[in-house]
Amino acid sequence: MRRIIYLMLIIAIGMSGLLAKDYYLYVAAESEDEVALIRFDGKTAHVEKRIPVGVWPLEIEGPHGLSVSPDGEYWYLSMAHGMPYGHLYKYKTGSDEMVDRVELGLFPATMGISNATGLLYIVNFNLHGSHSESSTVSIVDPDEMIEIDRVETGIMPHGSRLLNNGLKHYSVAMMSGTLYEIDAMSMEVTRTLSTEPKMKSMSNHMSHNMKKMDHSKMNMGSNKKDSMAKMNHKMPPEKPTWVYPHPKDDRLYVVNNGTHNVVEVDVKKWAVTRTFKTDKGPYNCEVTNDGKYLVITYKSAAKTGVWDLSTGKEIAKFNNTRKVTHGVSISPDSRYAFVSVEGVGKEPGAVEVFDLKTLKPVAIAEIGKQAGGIAFWKMAD
């Protein structure tokens, strides 16, 4: 009997060893010019490495967005500030050696890589512009680090994400209050949609089919003579900051930072179908791989919310440990949400880990100032 118990114990230990997984993520610290490699072992989040990025020792260059290639071989980083144009950097995962960089537009920010084309689509956020000029989505060949094309969208585009089939790219223009769809293959804007919640949207705005519009007489971005009084941008109140597709590719979730809600967009109908009224200042979001939960970061409220997509109800809300909640990345097994929190001033940024099974916070790792862009790398035994 004792032998059997020992045997079972050994098997149990062996099994637990087999089941224990390490989760690896890259997180950018925008005011530190660093990227941290985080390893979460199921209980503790470890800062494995702090990787200095950029080339100017005495200027903050602002690492902002992060993405890992689908095969996990490389990570890509947008560096917001330049003279004046920002860059996209490419690093090898693991060794974290810089491979190459390419100059893009003003304040390159969020990016996504298409599963169909293999190309990288990155928004030129132009956060620091006068908020009157339309900006672009840069399309980059990430193998050769060559910018192939730029597609004009709206004012301050952000939240660059693609359907899982890689065929359509979505971004939102913060100061235009608009969702843009780009055909990943033809590299053209195919549809736009006001991000206003359902009822309001129906009454005030119509969606647009770009192919039916004549833009030839539009004066986009030529308004250099700003009013010298206090700037009055007359921008839509929604200020959308993020868009994320459902794993089934049939729905999109658009975060309206300015009006404190997330709208669900039916991709086929190209219409807002549901509105989730959120806490203050929702900023980023991500849907679990199993399609059950939507995790939303509330930048202004310094909280993170978990929504059940079947009921449309918020089932958990966590207080973040410091102010200015930023991004979220969910492990492929749909178990953990990793949330970056910027902090204020000298306060270190942080990555906070939430267990989506128990709906409890489980770990925190402190990194450099203004933690922002976050990207999942791999799970490893």
Q: Which two tokens stand for residue 309?
A: 């997509």
Angle at the Cα of 308 from the Cα atoms of 303 and 312, rounded to 5 degrees: 100
User: Cβ of residue 57: shortest distance to another protein, in angstroms?
Assistant: 6
CA distance 373 to 340: 7
Q: Which is nearer to another protein, 184 or 294 (CB)?
A: 184
User: Site map for another protein, 280-319, x if CB under 8 A?
Assistant: ----------------------------------------
Residue 109, H or E segment: strand 108-113
155, 170, 369, 373: which one binds another protein (CB under 8 A): 369
Q: Tell me if 32 contacts another protein by CB under 8 A.
A: yes
The label of the residue with tokens 């807002």 reads 272
What residues contact 28, with CB distance under 8 A and at least 6 apart?
A: 34, 35, 53, 63, 64, 65, 66, 77, 371, 372, 373, 374
**Alpha carbons 309 and 115: distance in angstroms, whole number:** 25
Question: Of all helices (H) and strands (E), which one includes residue 282?
Answer: strand 282-287
Beta bridge partners of 6: none
Rounded distance between C-alpha atoms, residue 289 and residue 293, angstroms:
9
Residue 106, classed as helix, strand or coil, is: coil
What six digits make up the tokens of 307?
């929504």
Q: Which residues contact 83 (CB under 8 A, 6 or more apart)?
A: none
Return the exposure string of 362-372: e unless at least 16 CB atoms fall within 10 Å of the residue's CB, then b: ebbbbbbbbbb
Among 97, 226, 266, 308, binds another protein (CB under 8 A): 226
If the CB atoms of residues 42 and 129 are measured against another protein, the closer one turns out to be: 129
Nearer to another protein, 32 or 238 (CB): 32
Nearest to 245 by CA among 166, 341, 335: 166
For another protein, the binding residue among 43, 224, 234, 357 (CB under 8 A) is 224
- For another protein, the closer of residues 178 and 257 by Cβ is 257
For residue 84, the minimal CB distance to another protein (Å) is: 5
Closer by beta carbon to another protein, 159 or else 197: 159
Does 55 sit near another protein (CB under 8 A)? yes
What is the nearest approach in angstroms of another protein to the Cβ of residue 359? 28
User: Residue 368 Cβ, how far from another protein at the closest point, in Å?
Assistant: 10
Q: Which range of residues in 14-22, 125-133, 239-247, 253-261 is near another protein by CB under 8 A?
A: 125-133
Instruction: Provide DSSP, 47-92.
Output: EEEEEE--S-TTS---EEEEEE-TTSSEEEEEE---SS--EEEEEE
Closer CB to another protein, 157 or 197, in the complex = 157
- Residue 65, interface with another protein (CB under 8 A)? no
Cβ proximity to another protein, 133 vs 264, nearer residue: 133
Site for another protein in 131-190 (CB under 8 A): 131, 141, 143, 146-149, 166, 185-187
- Which one of 14-22, 54-62, 90-98, 215-223 is the stretch in contact with another protein (CB under 8 A)? 54-62
Does 115 bind another protein (CB under 8 A)? Our answer is yes
Please state the closest distance from residue 224 (CB atom) to another protein, in A: 8
State how far the Cα of 353 lies from the Cα of 45, in Å rounded to an integer: 8
The secondary structure of residue 212, as a DSSP letter, is: G
164 versus 334: smaller Cβ distance to another protein: 164
36-41: long-range contacts at Cβ-Cβ below 8 A with a sequence spacing of 24 or more? 36/351, 36/365, 36/367, 36/368, 36/371, 37/96, 37/377, 38/338, 38/351, 38/365, 38/367, 40/336, 40/338, 40/353, 40/363, 40/365
Instruction: State yes or no: residue 6 binds another protein (CB under 8 A).
Output: no
**Stretch 327-356 residues interacting with another protein (CB under 8 A):** 342-346
Stretch that binds another protein, among 79-87, 237-245, 254-262, 355-363 (CB under 8 A): 79-87
In the complex with another protein, which residue's Cβ is closer, 167 or 271? 167
Out of 70, 237, 312, 332, the residue judged to bind another protein by CB under 8 A: 70
**What are the Cα distances from residue 355, in Å, to 108, 346, 359?**
32, 28, 5
Interaction site with another protein (CB under 8 A): 31-32, 55-58, 60, 69-71, 73, 81, 83-85, 115-119, 127-131, 141, 143, 146-149, 166, 185-187, 224, 226, 228-231, 323-324, 342-346, 369-370
